[in-house]
């Protein structure tokens, strides 16, 4: 009996250990049958809502996006779209003709984002949160003109190339919290004229240049608490004409003058117990 218990424990331990170390690429996922139209439908990982094809690939131990642009993988996405739209594939040439896709890749083990990996997908929503991505190529989001929601929080990103977001003309929400960012380059968010929510909290930001937020005229919520922010030019907020809530952390005395030109309703400095509410003078 003791031997039987020992054997069962060994198998149980081995199963737990192997599952925790298991990881695959998208190509390997497809070859194993776990990225097939039947499997994804059966597991409830795909649906069609709000005129979007919604594909949930979270918690699948994906460590590489290699294969996402393979014809067979794109074929699965096309067939899923045709299934929900009840259309035939006659005259339907590829995944690029699907007008709106929401892709959830959160809580995997993705380390890198290969060049042009999203090139054929018309994304409106992309969730890459809680992976282990360390860097972004400058053109990784090139031509994603319809993307409105981008979540990169909970990764290990330590640097943002200046032009990385330049094509995201319709982006409204950008989540970069819980990374390893230490510097925000001038105009790094340039081009995000529609952005309303930006989270930068829980990073290592020590330097904010005077035009770090230049171009964010529609920004309403900014979260930058739990950062060192040693070198801060308060004029950075002058570009934020629509800002109504800022969650921030500074040891400096805070003055509403630093928000000159913005529509500020609420200022929160969480680590200092300060909360300032500004009444509309009109």
Half-sphere exposure of 49 (CA within 13 A, CB side): 9
| CA-CA-CA-CA dihedral for 83, 142, 196, 249, to nearest 10 | 120
Reading the block at residue 158, the tokens are 């330590």
Instruction: Give the pLDDT band (50/70/90) at residue 238.
Output: low
Q: What does the pLDDT read at residue 99?
A: 95
Is the model's pLDDT at 188 over the cut of 80? yes
Round the average pLDDT of the chain to a whole number and report it.
80
Do 160 and 185 touch, CB atoms closer than 8 A? yes
Q: What does the pLDDT read at residue 163?
A: 87
Q: What does the pLDDT read at residue 215?
A: 84
Distance, in Å, from the CA atom of 194 to the CA atom of 150, rounded to the nearest integer, reads 13
Superfamily of domain 134-277: Ribonuclease Inhibitor (3.80.10.10)
Which carries the bigger pLDDT value, residue 15 or residue 62? 62
Q: Which residue has the tokens 């039987």?
A: 4
Distance, in Å, from the CA atom of 159 to the CA atom of 184, rounded to the nearest integer, reads 8
Question: Percent of the chain scored above 70 by pLDDT?
Answer: 72
Q: Which residue has the tokens 């309703």?
A: 265
Is the model's pLDDT at 269 over the cut of 80? no
Q: How far is CA 46 from CA 67, 76, 152, 236, 249, in A?
A: 19, 11, 21, 42, 40
Instruction: Give the pLDDT band (50/70/90) at residue 91.
Output: low
Instruction: Give the pLDDT band (50/70/90) at residue 160.
Output: very high
Look at the chain and count its residues. 282
Instruction: Give the pLDDT band (50/70/90) at residue 234.
Output: low
Strands 101-104 and 123-127: parallel
Instruction: Give the pLDDT band (50/70/90) at residue 278.
Output: very low
Do 119 and 69 touch, CB atoms closer than 8 A? yes
Q: What does the pLDDT read at residue 139?
A: 92
Q: What does the pLDDT read at residue 204?
A: 93
Per-residue pLDDT, averaged over 118-143, amounts to: 96
Domain boundaries, the chain: 134-277
Q: What does the pLDDT read at residue 263?
A: 47
Q: Which among 87, 59, 89 has a CA at the least distance from the CA of 74?
A: 89
Instruction: Give the pLDDT band (50/70/90) at residue 279.
Output: very low
Instruction: Give the pLDDT band (50/70/90) at residue 93.
Output: low
Digit-coded pLDDT (tens) for 31-82: 999 999 999 999 999 999 999 999 999 999 999 999 999 999 999 999 999 9
Q: What does the pLDDT read at residue 231?
A: 54
Is the model's pLDDT at 113 over the cut of 60? yes
């Amino acid at each position: 009996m003791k031997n039987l218990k020992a054997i069962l424990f060994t198998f149980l331990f081995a199963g737990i250990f192997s599952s925790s170390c298991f990881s695959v690429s998208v190509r390997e996922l497809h070859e194993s049958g776990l990225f097939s139209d039947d499997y994804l439908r059966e597991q409830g990982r795909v649906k069609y809502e709000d005129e979007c094809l919604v594909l949930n690939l979270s918690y699948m131990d994906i460590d590489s996006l290699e294969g996402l642009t393979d014809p067979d993988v794109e074929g699965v996405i096309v067939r899923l779209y045709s299934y929900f739209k009840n259309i035939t594939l006659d005259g339907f040439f590829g995944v690029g003709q699907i007008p709106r896709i929401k892709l959830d890749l959160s809580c995997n083990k993705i380390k890198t984002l290969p060049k042009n990996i999203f090139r054929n997908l018309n994304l409106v929503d992309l969730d890459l949160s809680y992976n282990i991505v360390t860097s972004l190529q400058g053109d990784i989001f090139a031509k994603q003109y319809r993307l409105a929601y981008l979540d990169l929080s909970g990764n290990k990103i330590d640097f943002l190339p200046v032009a990385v977001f330049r094509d995201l003309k319709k982006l409204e929400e950008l989540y970069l919290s819980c990374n390893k960012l230490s510097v925000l380059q001038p105009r790094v968010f340039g081009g995000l004229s529609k952005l309303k929510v930006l989270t930068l909290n829980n990073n290592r930001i020590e330097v904010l240049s005077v035009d770090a937020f230049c171009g964010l005229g529609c920004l309403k919520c900014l979260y930058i608490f739990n950062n060192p922010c040693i070198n801060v030019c308060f004029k950075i907020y002058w570009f934020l004409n629509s800002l109504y809530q800022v969650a921030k952390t500074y040891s400096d005395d805070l003055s509403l003058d630093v928000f000159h030109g913005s529509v500020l309703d609420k200022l929160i400095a969480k680590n200092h117990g300060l909360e300032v509410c500004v009444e509309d003078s009109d």
